[in-house]
Structure 1
Amino acid sequence: MDSPLSARSIACAAALSAVLGTGSVKAADMPMAAQPPVFTQVDQNLWIVTITGNVQATPRYPGSGDYTGIGYPSASIRPAGTPARFSAPDDGISFSLYDGPNFRIGPTARYVPGRYYGDDRRHLFGLRDARFAIEPGVFAEFYPVEWLRARAELRHGTIGHHGFVGSIGLDVIQPVGAFRVSIGPRFNFGDESFARRYFGVLPVEAFVNGRLTAFRPDSFTTVGALGAVTYRFNEQWAATGYVGYNRIVGSSADSPLLKRGFGTPNQFTFGAKVDYSFTMPALF
């Protein structure tokens, strides 16, 4: 038989347990103070870098009917957490100084293959070499709606030519599962200096060549289109295939370099590129 002290101790312990249990429930029901947001390293201190390897078959020089293969790298960078910008395969190598939701602008540059006597000794005999050109300039992009991009470039040649050239294009962009399809028209133009370098024939050149007549174009114009299909394997890897067509029209289309079978006004481009993306700490 338990003693009164033991029974009293048991009763006190039971009462204390009930009180503590009730207190615990009430504490759990009390509202907690809101925690301040935590900004992780990914939000502030990481960038996504995309390295691209490009290969393409392109006319050996402007107006050529022969093709050559070229390969070149390019790169882009953006803050982690922001979507990748659409880039058409025929865009110049560009860097955005201002990048808003619907508009961006910045410097750009393009490479133009040169025309050399060794490329076609039979047809180019007596003609001056037109060296390769680098064309630095500026670009601007505008998205009137999410699925439509308008882009314009204005550039000035160095080394091979010293004229002003430019391009205007539209791209309809449509995602289809892991694929992204884009297609749109293209318009390219160049001034007299560019046209004379690649499509003009001096009187002395015509005399030495013997099959050409002297010709002095006043402008360069092409119209065409470009289509591309991109497949994204995962967050790191993506591959793109594309084909473009431009037809030389206007003054340069009358050049004897095109009319006499030395070249063609129909200019095709076939290419592919592979993108690899990775993260790196921000440098500033």
Structure 2
Amino acid sequence: MTKLLLVTLAGTCTALAMPAAAQEAQTSGRNVVIGAGIEVVPKYPGASSGRIGVLPLFDTWRAGAPQPAESPDESIGFALLGERGSALSAGPSFTFASGRSAKDLPGLAEVGSAFELGGYVEAWPLPALRLRGELRQGIGGHKALTGDLAADAVWRGAGDGIMLTIGPRLHWGSDKYNRTFFSVPVANSAGFAPFDAGPGIYSYGAAAGLRLPLGQRFGLYSYVRYDRLTGRVAASPIVVSGSADQFSGGLALTYRFGI
């Protein structure tokens, strides 16, 4: 996984070294960005190895408005209160969360992928500082409540040019969430002693995302993320036998058009 992250970082550095052209501005309707690429993420929460997956991208915003700042680990959402990028906004959010195969930790139950549905609140106390909180309920998979707090410094180039976001993260899980991923229900499950993870903050870290236009239509998107499992979760036999350090990264090609 380290090699793959280095490739992602190399792609980011290469992108930064390329001249950035402002993307074509729409005067009516909506702007749309779609994209796809690859990412490397932990094989499962607490794993010491990674897996390669597909990195899909989608964003849309009103023509004439600047492209909204978006961090790599936030859920998809839309504002019911306020407007994205305004001083305060809030609305529904949803994301897809992968689970854990029974083959990953033989003896422990499989955790299916989950659709997480909830809401977000976002505030901009300063023009280049964004604060965001999310709370989501898993549907399928872990079937539990989880939430995130994030702060991002946002740097923009001219027009809809380069955009860089970077900042700290804090992740919380309910008792059911942490128990699903980090508890060991009975002795000798996967060779581990019984363990109860309990509710609370399970990780802290940071994430950085880069959007770089390559012309009027195409662009590059790259991100890196680090999470450190903490608290009682870090003492779980699952984490002790794996790693408390969780790395992720991805690189994608994007295409922009107007509707």
TM over 0.5: yes
CA positional deviation for 1:275: 2.7
Query: Aligned letter for 1:112?
Result: A
Query: Aligned letter for 1:118?
Result: K
When you count helix as a share of all residues, which structure comes out higher? 1
Would the alpha carbon gap of residues 90 and 97 (structure 1) be closer, same or farther in structure 2, given more than 3 Å must change?
A: same
Deviations 1:68-126 (A, max 9, x none): 1121434232222111101111111222223432222221112222111223xxxx222
Residue in 2 aligned with 1:266? 245
Give the 5 Å matches for 1:160-175. Answer: 160-175=141-156
CA positional deviation for 1:61: 1.3
Matched, 1:117 2:102: yes
Matched, 1:244 2:225: yes
Q: Tell me which stretches of 4 or more aligned residues in structure 1 moved more than 4 Å.
A: none
CA distance in structure 2 between the partners assigned to 1:90 and 1:147 by the alignment? 18
2:70 to 87, 101, 107: 87
- Decide whether the 8 Å contact of 1:57 with 1:69 is kept in 2: yes
SS at match of 1:218: coil
Deviations 1:136-171 (A, max 9, x none): 111121111111111111001121112210001111
2:125 to 140, 144, 149: 144
Residue in 1 aligned with 2:194? 214
Bigger radius of gyration among the two: 1
Would the alpha carbon gap of residues 241 and 74 (structure 1) be closer, same or farther in structure 2, given more than 3 Å must change?
A: closer
Would the alpha carbon gap of residues 97 and 181 (structure 1) be closer, same or farther in structure 2, given more than 3 Å must change?
A: same
Give the 5 Å matches for 1:1-284. Answer: 46-100=29-83, 101-119=86-104, 124-176=105-157, 178-203=161-186, 206-207=187-188, 209=190, 211-219=191-199, 220-259=201-240, 261=241, 263-280=242-259
Query: Aligned letter for 1:216?
Result: D
Q: Report the TM-score, using the length of structure 2 for normalisation.
A: 0.81
Would the alpha carbon gap of residues 77 and 176 (structure 1) be closer, same or farther in structure 2, given more than 3 Å must change?
A: closer
Deviations 1:1-41 (A, max 9, x none): xxxxxxxxxxxxxxxxxxxxxxxxxxxxxxxxxxxxxxxxx
SS at match of 2:71: coil
Q: Count the aligned residue pairs.
A: 229
- Decide whether the 8 Å contact of 1:74 with 1:93 is kept in 2: no
Deviations 1:33-53 (A, max 9, x none): xxxxxxxxx755x22222232
Q: Report the TM-score, using the length of structure 1 for normalisation.
A: 0.75
Which structure has more RCO (C-alpha within 8 Å, separation ≥ 6)? 2
Query: Aligned letter for 2:87?
Result: N
Identical columns (%): 28
SS at match of 1:196: helix
CA distance in structure 2 between the partners assigned to 1:246 and 1:74 by the alignment? 22
- Decide whether the 8 Å contact of 1:126 with 1:208 is kept in 2: yes
Would the alpha carbon gap of residues 96 and 234 (structure 1) be closer, same or farther in structure 2, given more than 3 Å must change?
A: farther
SS at match of 1:258: helix
CA distance in structure 2 between the partners assigned to 1:77 and 1:90 by the alignment? 17
CA distance in structure 2 between the partners assigned to 1:174 and 1:125 by the alignment? 45
Query: Aligned letter for 1:164?
Result: L
Structure 2: gaps spanning 5 or more residues: 1-25
CA distance in structure 2 between the partners assigned to 1:168 and 1:141 by the alignment? 10
CA distance in structure 1 between the partners assigned to 2:44 and 2:126 by the alignment? 36
RMSD over aligned Cα atoms: 1.9
